[in-house]
Amino acid sequence: MAVIGKIREKSGLVMIIIGLGMVGFLFQDAASSLFRGGGDTNVGEIGSVSISARDFDRKLNDFIARYEFQNGPANAQVRESIKEQVWNDIVREELLVKQFKLIGLSVSPKELDDMITGINPHPQIRQSFTNPETNIFDPNQVISFLKGLETMPADRKAQWLQFEDGLIQERIAAKYNNLVTKGMFATSLMIKNAYKEQNETRAIKYVVKRYNTIADSTIEVSNQELKAYYEEHKHEFKQESSRSLEYVKFEVLPSEEDKLAIKEQLTQLTKEFQETNDDSSFVSYNSDVPLNDLYYTQNNFPFEIDSAFFHAEKGSVFGPFEENNTLAVVKLTDIKFVPDSVKARHILINTKAPGDSTGYFKLDSLRTLIKKGVKFDQLAKDNSDDVGSAVEGGDLGWFTEGTMVKPFNDACFDGKKGDLVIVESQFGFHLIEILAQGESIKKVKLAKVALNIAPSSETYDKVFANVSKFYAENSNSEAFTSTVSKENSSYKKLTADNIKVSDRNINGIGDARELVRWAFNAKKGAISDPLQFDNTYVVAHLAEIKEDGFASLDQIKVEIEMEARKKKKAEQISKEMEGILNIEDLAEKIGVPVSTTSSVNFAAYSIPGLGQEPKVIGVISTIPAGKISSKPIEGNTGVFVVLVESVTPAPETTDYSITKQELNSQYASISSGILEALKERFGVIDQRYKFY
């Protein structure tokens, strides 16, 4: 059992390959209605394969069961991240795994056996079957474990089989990556050329006339020229699907009347709080903040409360006071003297299902053995499901109060040295031995009734009336833009650009998935209905739509116009430079100085003093010593004419090993881009925004 625990706890392999850590994200009502018939029920397309919402939902629910079996309920943040993982898993299955099968990649039974029981097993196997005391891997333990597999509980056996499947998938992926990587290598000619490019340098003279010396106003660009430049260069403006929003936000904040009403309510509760004998029930029923069962020392007493209250009598009340956007009152409910720390060890037996008490009976048997002289640490190593402490004989070391879950904590701090007790927590049943306790100190327990300082329904109604008025008067693109763009407008325009289909959060709003979904289902210029996000109402204007592919001319007109104008400037300057073969004469004619620089290198990305000029560098590398460029060179910042004064050849060598290693390292990284390349080739359309 401990081996399975190690694999389950430490194996990132299984979590990544087969998704044991995944949790589902249940469909909303919109998705559920589509399952009953009608409408487009696909969440996306991968190549020619449509991914149905039903299949996606089934896969998610399967992952829910796996995750919650081991980890319990997942919060919203985990659910959202796993939703992405599930989609990525489907994409990988459709693109990569099909490639594996297409070329016949597989792992034979003998190969799998070698990965598990061979001389050089998989690192996860080696880690799981290494003796923690000697740090020596024992292959006999592996064989013994496999022999006992058939007698294991069904869930443990299933976990092992999933782990094996993870090993297989990892090995197949490694084979595929190796095939790609080994197919890319540097030939001897490529290596020699790369060495030359890295080490051969040129000293140059040059003149350059900058584009900014010609005023933009003197260069006219026609619509036809803009279109021609766009068609020639649109491949440089590839984009992902995204949306841009303009929106007005209406925050609902508590009024002074709201705060006064809350204070009056708390004052009435305080009288009842002083009189009650059931503090826990009173807090649970009346407070907006859950009951806190912690005991406080004088050193960690809550700073919002007068420190003198630590020495008050049991039953004393302090407050009201303001804390974390609440009004609160506290009551001193208990005083006790407990150890400042405890040293303990334990044996954990996981609970299989609610009400399952088999763990208790097993630990009770182990407790009897311990009382008869059997070593606790050995029983922990052999039986505990807490793998991290089992290797230490169950030892948890010293810990302070509040470090452990409550049942465990209470058993350790309310008990005494030498106690052997069994308690149940959300992790299962624990057999605890208290090894030592620290110095006894005074601690007090506080019960707090806290009421949120929140807007009343009347305040919400007033704000919503304002939102509704704004929406009614600005329900089209022209009116919205006009209203929020006016000087001294009472409505502040906020923007959210480059929103992707999978985004959930929008700056200034927080979790706004409903707004993102609206943006991807609406038309440009649309105005959203008032949407509520916690204590905020939003009315949004869909200002821009960008689809997958290339940006339209309208979207990038400013950039295209600037580049087209620069091209016309380059043509004008080039004509001015043509026909003059002496660089000093050319400099005099166009009114610029002659500049010099040494060590221009083809492998470099920039020229010293000039910045990034790849086209200029490329031409320089082809010019022999003593020669001038045959025609002006159109660079990024201006037009150049270059004279190569001298060429310093690369030093002679027979050892190209460093260059070879550099090139092959570049090729080795190619496999990391395989999935993205397959996505581009086959096409991946993500339409989950229809449902999520």
Task: Note whether 249 and 260 are same-domain residues.
Answer: no
Q: Calculate Rg over the CA atoms of the chain.
A: 36
- Measured from the Cβ of residue 35, the count of other Cβ atoms closer than 10 Å reads 14
- Judge whether 685 lies within some domain: no
User: Which token pair is 153?
Assistant: 């509980």
**Alpha carbons 682 and 98: distance in angstroms, whole number:** 12
Q: Name the stretches of the chain with pLDDT < 50.
A: 1-38
Q: What are phi and psi of 78, to 5 degrees?
A: -65, -40
User: Order of strands, edge to edge, in the sheet holding 638-648?
Assistant: 595-601, 201-210, 638-648, 633-634
- Whole-angstrom Cα distance, residue 133 to residue 377? 12
Distance CA 345, CA 436 (A): 10
60 and 176 belong to one structural domain: yes
CATH code where residue 379 lies: 3.10.50.40
Predicted pLDDT at 555: 86
**Same domain, yes or no, for 300 and 434?**
no
Whether 601 is in a domain gets the answer yes
Q: Would 309 be classed as within a structural domain?
A: yes
CA–CA distance, 550 with 234 (Å, rounded to integer): 7
Closest CA to 340 of 303, 302, 297: 297
- Final residue before a domain boundary, out of 626, 648, 670: 648
Q: Which residues contact 267 (CB under 8 A, 6 or more apart)?
A: 320
SS3 (DSSP) at 272: helix
- Write b or e for each residue in 589-620: b if 16 or more Cβ atoms lie within 10 A of its Cβ, otherwise e: ebebeeeeeeebbbeeeebeebeebeebbebb
* Residue with tokens 């993870």, as numbered in its chain: 166
3-class state of residue 386 by DSSP = coil
Does residue 89 lie within any of the structural domains?
yes
Within this chain, do residues 40 and 136 fall inside the same structural domain, yes or no? yes
657 lies in some domain: no
Say if 450 falls within a structural domain: no
> What does the pLDDT read at residue 9?
44
Same domain, 345 and 378: yes
Q: Which helix (H) or strand (E) holds 595?
A: strand 595-601
CA distance 670 to 177: 9
Q: Which residues contact 637 (CB under 8 A, 6 or more apart)?
A: 208, 210, 211, 610, 611, 613
**Is residue 505 located within the same domain as residue 587?**
no
* Inter-residue contact 302 to 314 (CB < 8 Å): no
Given a contact cutoff of 8 angstroms between Cβ atoms, the answer to whether 4 and 12 are in contact is no
**Of 515, 530, 547, which one is at a domain's C-terminal end?**
547
The stretches of 317-405 forming alpha helices (DSSP H) are 358-371, 376-383, 387-390
In b/e form, how buried is each residue of 236-266, taking b as 16+ CB within 10 angstroms?
A: ebeeebbbbbbbbbbebebeeebeeebeeeb
186 phi and psi, to 5 degrees? Answer: -85, 125
Claim to verify: residue 45 and residue 160 sit in the same structural domain: yes
SS3 447: strand
pLDDT, position 133: 63
Same domain? 364 vs 401: yes
Closest to 349 in 3D by CA, of 386, 382, 389: 386
Whether 124 contacts 10, CB under 8 Å? yes
3-state secondary structure of 335: strand
Residue 370 placed within a domain: yes
Q: Which two tokens stand for residue 274?
A: 């002083």
Q: What is the pLDDT of residues 358-391, one digit of tens each?
A: 889 999 999 999 999 999 999 999 999 888 888 8
Task: Determine contact, residues 488/435, Cβ cutoff 8 Å.
Answer: no
What value, to the nearest 5°, has the Cα angle with vertex 66 and ends 64 and 67? 65
Say if residue 75 is in the same domain as residue 91: yes
Q: How many domains does the chain have?
A: 5
pLDDT per position as a tens digit, 200-239: 999 999 999 999 999 999 999 999 999 999 999 999 998 8
What residues are paired with 380 via a beta bridge? none
- What is the DSSP code (8-state) at residue 15? H
SS (H, E, C) 22-73: CCCCCCCHHHHHHHCCCCCCEEEEECCEEEEHHHHHHHHHHHHHHHHHHHCC
Query: At 451, which helix (H) or strand (E)?
Result: strand 440-452
Q: Model pTM greater than 0.85? A: no
Q: Note whether 418 and 362 are same-domain residues.
A: yes
519 and 591 fall within a common domain? no
d(CA 75, CA 557): 45
**Domain enclosing residue 464, as ranges:** 242-253+456-547
Q: Tokens 């491949």 — which residue? A: 235
Asked if residue 581 belongs to a domain, the reply is: yes
Give me the phi and psi of 485, to 5 degrees please: -95, -5
- With a CB cutoff of 8 Å and minimum separation 6, the contacts of 614 are 605
Domain co-membership, 345 together with 321: no
